[in-house]
Amino acid sequence: MECGGLVQMFFDTCYPTTKNLESMSGDEVKEWVIQHLDLLEKAKQEWNQIFRDLYSIRNQELDIEEKIPLIDEKADQLASISVGRDSAEAAIREKLETLWEKMDERSREFLITAQVIESTIADVDGDYAPVVIEMGRVFENEIQKKVFIKYINTLSQKEPAISDTSVFYKDIVDAVNNYKASHKYFISATRMMKYIGDLSYKDNNSRPFRKELRNLLDKKNANIRDLSKKDKVDEVCNYIDEYRNKAAHPNTADNPNIISKNKVESCKNETRNVLDYFITNVGQ
């Protein structure tokens, strides 16, 4: 059965049949209980295995750029088997207020998954790293969906191709080449913010990549002045490093790196602040 099928089957089809228990004989009730407790136990084992895999990936000696996608894949598996998403969504909607409606749908799913994982993680390990990592995906998704996917797509269609020999723009060059080849690319969220911060320079025509990014944001009616302020760009970069990146670092006996409940609460506040700044200024 595909990952998630066990839990979903139990809660979507098995659980409602409890309404019919009163019409069953004693032996039928016993058979029903044994069958579905076994199903729930298998689902619990599936959930715990995903957590073990996730923590195992976290403790591997990989670069953050290599590790994060692997962790994200496991988090998506947890999302597929989680329950209680409706109540989690209601709570998050209330806290984020108008920000919720302005966020990409995928970003909302990340926040819901983080909330659901947080509510169960104490029974598994007590290390809240998966919660913080999942919340960190929200800003990364927002900056991708609202700016950089279109930006890289636009650059990939330029004829003749735009080029820049500056080492600073190497990630853009690589992203465009990869997008042309496979419609996939990778630029870290930190790097994307640094490119937005680069817009604070006034000499638009001296750097073609900078000019194209500014043109895109102008069309979105973005508040480029506030969006590219150095202190705000630094604040977002520090947020990414302090939460998403650090939560992905190994947690070993020699180098303890347990993410506490207090860290989660701090991350929630900082995530909202970062989203508020970015969504307010990035335009439509």
Domain range list for the chain: 59-282
Instruction: Give residue for tokens 């790196």.
Output: 257
Quickly state the pLDDT bin for 8 (edges 50, 70, 90): very low
Q: For the residues 170-188, what does the mean pLDDT come to?
A: 92
- Predicted pLDDT of residue 226: 96
- 83's CB contacts (< 8 A; 6+ apart) are 7, 11, 116
- Predicted pLDDT of residue 248: 82
pLDDT digits 0-9 by tens, 17-71: 554 555 666 666 666 666 666 666 676 777 778 778 877 888 888 887 778 788 8
Q: For the residues 212-241, what does the mean pLDDT come to?
A: 95
- How far is residue 241's CA from residue 132's CA, in Å, rounded to a whole number? 11
- Predicted pLDDT of residue 201: 79
Contacts 24+ apart (CB under 8 A), 193-197: 193/143, 193/233, 193/236, 193/237, 193/240, 194/233, 194/237, 196/143, 196/147, 196/227, 196/228, 196/233, 197/228, 197/230, 197/233
Amino acid in position 80: S
* Contact between 179 and 156 (Cβ < 8 Å): yes
| pTM score | 0.79
On the question of pLDDT at 233 being above 80, the answer is: yes
- How far is residue 35's CA from residue 10's CA, in Å, rounded to a whole number? 10
- Predicted pLDDT of residue 14: 52
Instruction: Give residue for tokens 């070993």.
Output: 252
Q: Would you list the DSSP string of 88-123?
A: HHHHHHHHHTHHHHHS-HHHHHHHHHHHHHHHHHTT
- How far is residue 72's CA from residue 137's CA, in Å, rounded to a whole number? 8
- How far is residue 54's CA from residue 46's CA, in Å, rounded to a whole number? 12
* Contact between 278 and 139 (Cβ < 8 Å): yes
